[in-house]
Structure formats: structure tokens, C-alpha cells
Amino acid sequence: MKPLALIIEDDPAIRESLADRLESLGHDCHAAGNQNEAGERIERCTYGYILLDLELPVRFGRPPSIQIGKNILQSIRVSARNNDTPVIVVTAHGHDRPDLAVELMKAGAVDFVRKPFDNLEQAIREALQRRANGNSATGTPDSDAAIEMRLLENGKLVFKHDVIELDGIEVCTRDSGTIWRILELLKRRKDNGQPKAFGGKEIADTLGLIRGQNAVCDAISNFRKRVVQLLADEGIEAQNDTVVITGRAGYQINSALTFEDLSDSVSQEVTEDDGDSPSDRQQWIMDELKSGRKLRRCDLEERFDVSTATAKRDLGDLAESIEFIGTGKTGYYALIAPGR
């Protein structure tokens, strides 16, 4: 499996350059340009390693600050999915003080690479090797408590009339509200028996959720944390995506689980394609632009959970129909005006 990296960098040119270098290593990558985007990525996906610029804004349009980069590093170290993910700080001239490097290493970074990043590939290889050898992101052995936890292997997810169980542990009830309705939707299967994927908007529209995709995201996020905690209480190690994963086409039940539906209602078979092909993504791009949306590449990456390289290819294939307006992070894609 290819290593998956997260690039947290607000300069589009540098972000593209880093993505190209990671692609040349055979790695996939996601990208984030500010703290809010980085937080969403860290919450949704487990990464093989993270490249973190220091001077970043909280959100698009806000001024950057070194303290924001430090805050992101701290949030990674306490996150449920990436607390053990190696973080390599990539920094510009002027932010390469020895005392700053020491401070960041103490805060949990594994390396400190200065632009133009001549030793970046070596830093990545060393970070991945340390992780493969069973060491944590900060180079210290995993705790005894973690070793004593039993891994969840070939778990069984059972839907009953009023409760959903994972390996006999109750993880959701009919009284749980929105998440129960979401899981009832996600339990649908295609003809081949694989879980059907649903986008956040599709779930919200189907269930008539007033808060839209935000309600879906919040419900699934809280459920994931609950599953991890419930299983930990039973001495079982689980991940945020043990039950619900975020795939390229949206949310779906983890296909690694054995599935059984003992509820009164029979799960509806879904025969349509899972929406994961390039043509599906490109059709979504065209539909969004026809609706008047100003689309950025990161919108495509987040909607389908694809790498920067894949998003660039999809957009490039539509070059005769769409154009990039503006420059850098303020630019956006739009349909080419008729007659041009």
C-alpha cells in the first residue's frame, strides 16, 4: 500500500512542488492550506506522515502566524487518528532558528527540514522506517498499555431491531437520533454485497436534515469517538474508521467487517455504481460549475477523498471546457464562456 501523506502548506506553489516530490516517491498525498482544513483532514484520515509548514492562517483569507503552525502540531499529537503520525516541519529561511527547532522537536515533530528541502526525501524515509520498526512519532517505544490492548480482527457488525452491535458490544440504539438513521442508510448493499457509499449531501437530503452536511459530519464524528471509547473499555483497540470509513465516494460501512442484518426491515439492495470513477468525478465538476459554483481543486479532493495528483488529472482532462480564473489560493475554476 502506498504511504499517504498530508501536506499542510498555504503557499500553492510550494504545495504543488511538495506534492510532485511525494508523487515521485510513489506516495499519495492530501493537502490543506490552513488550520481549519488541516483539522478536518486529521479528523477524517490516518496518514503515514505529515509535512507541516509553520506560518499558516487559521482559515482562508486570514493572516498567517507561526503560532498557528505550533497549534496544529499540538492538535496532531492529541488527535485520535494521528497522535502517532510522524510530523516533519518544513520551514523557510527566518524560521530556522536552532531554538525553534528544539522547541518543535520537544512538541512532537520528528524532523525539521529547511527550504529548499534538499534532504526532504531522506527525512521521510527515516520517519517511515522508525514507524515501521514499532516506534512512536516522537521516537519513544509504545506504551505497555497499548501493547496489552487486543486488536479487533474480523469484527462482526449486527443490525437488530433496536440496537446495533459490534462484536457483541452495543454501539448504537434506535434512541441515538441522527446517527441511527445514518447507519440505517449506510447498511444498504450493492449486488456484489459490498457497502454502498453515500456523500454527505446525499445523506442530508435523503434524511431531510435541517443542518445539512454539518449534521452528518457531527453525528458520524461523535459516533466514531464513541466506538473507540466503548471498545477501549472492553480492552479492544479500535480506530475512528473501524465502523464508518470515508471513501472516495463518501461515507460507507467498513467492508472489513462481517455484516448481518437482523432488523425487521430488509436492507435495500443498491445496484448503481459507487461513484468512484474519473468520469463520475468529472461529471460532478461540470455539474457544480454549471450551477455557478466557483470550484477549487481542494473541493474535489475533499468531496471524493482523492490525492492532489488525481484531482489535477481530473481537472486537466476538462481543460477544453473549464478554465482557472485568478492566481494561487484565491483562484478558482469556472466554465469557459461560450464563443471563446
DSSP of 82-93, one letter per residue?
Answer: TTTS-EEEEE-T
Q: Are residues 25 and 132 in the same domain?
A: yes
pLDDT at 73: 93
CB neighbour class for 106 (10 Å; exposed up to 12, middle 13-18, buried from 19) = exposed
pLDDT at 246: 83
Q: Are residues 15 and 130 in the same domain?
A: yes
Cβ contact 109:136 at 8 Å = no
Q: Are residues 9 and 131 in the same domain?
A: yes
In a domain, 340, yes or no: no
Q: Could you tell me which of 131, 182, 104, 155 has the C-alpha nearest to residue 4?
A: 131
Q: Are residues 227 and 303 in the same domain?
A: no
Domain hosting 325: range is: 278-335
Q: Are residues 32 and 120 in the same domain?
A: yes
Q: What is the CATH number of the domain that holds 176?
A: 1.10.10.10
Buried b (16+ CB within 10 A) or exposed e, 118-132: eebeebbeebbebbe
Q: Are residues 68 and 90 in the same domain?
A: yes
pLDDT at 85: 92
Q: Are residues 285 and 202 in the same domain?
A: no
Cβ contact 152:235 at 8 Å = no
pLDDT at 225: 83
Q: Are residues 183 and 291 in the same domain?
A: no
Q: Which of 229, 247, 270 is the last residue of a domain?
A: 270
Cβ contact 251:186 at 8 Å = yes
Residue 188: half-sphere exposure toward Cβ, Cα within 13 Å: 16
pLDDT at 1: 65
In a domain, 104, yes or no: yes
Q: Say how many C-beta atoms besides its own lie within 10 A of residue 219's C-beta.
A: 23
pLDDT at 340: 57
Q: Which of 143, 173, 202 is the last residue of a domain?
A: 143
pLDDT at 87: 94
Helices (H) then strands (E): counts for the chain: 12, 17
Q: Could you give the CA distance from residue 197 to residue 8 in angstroms, rounded to a whole number?
A: 27
Q: Say how many C-beta atoms besides its own lie within 10 A of residue 187's C-beta.
A: 20
To the nearest 10°, report the CA torsion of 202, 208, 191, 227.
90
Q: Are residues 265 and 317 in the same domain?
A: no
pLDDT at 182: 93
Q: Could you tell me which of 119, 105, 129 has the C-alpha nearest to residue 49?
A: 129
In a domain, 247, yes or no: yes
Q: Say how many C-beta atoms besides its own lie within 10 A of residue 215's C-beta.
A: 18
DSSP conformation class of 318: T
Cβ contact 278:217 at 8 Å = no
In a domain, 205, yes or no: yes
Cβ contact 249:284 at 8 Å = no
pTM: 0.45
Q: Which of 221, 246, 270 is the last residue of a domain?
A: 270
Q: Could you give the CA distance from residue 204 to residue 199 in angstroms, rounded to a whole number?
A: 9
pLDDT, one tens digit for every residue, the chain (340 residues):
678 899 999 888 888 889 999 989 999 899 999 999 999 889 888 899 999 998 899 988 788 888 999 999 999 988 888 888 999 998 865 455 656 777 788 888 888 888 778 789 988 998 888 877 765 555 443 433 333 456 676 788 999 988 999 988 898 988 888 899 999 999 988 878 788 889 989 998 888 888 888 888 888 988 888 888 888 778 787 777 889 988 777 899 988 888 888 876 433 333 333 344 667 788 889 888 888 888 888 888 777 766 777 788 888 888 888 999 888 767 899 998 776 5
Q: How far is CA 127 from the centre of its chain?
A: 20
pLDDT at 294: 87
Q: Are residues 35 and 75 in the same domain?
A: yes
Q: Indicate the number of domains in the chain.
A: 3
Q: Say how many C-beta atoms besides its own lie within 10 A of residue 228's C-beta.
A: 19
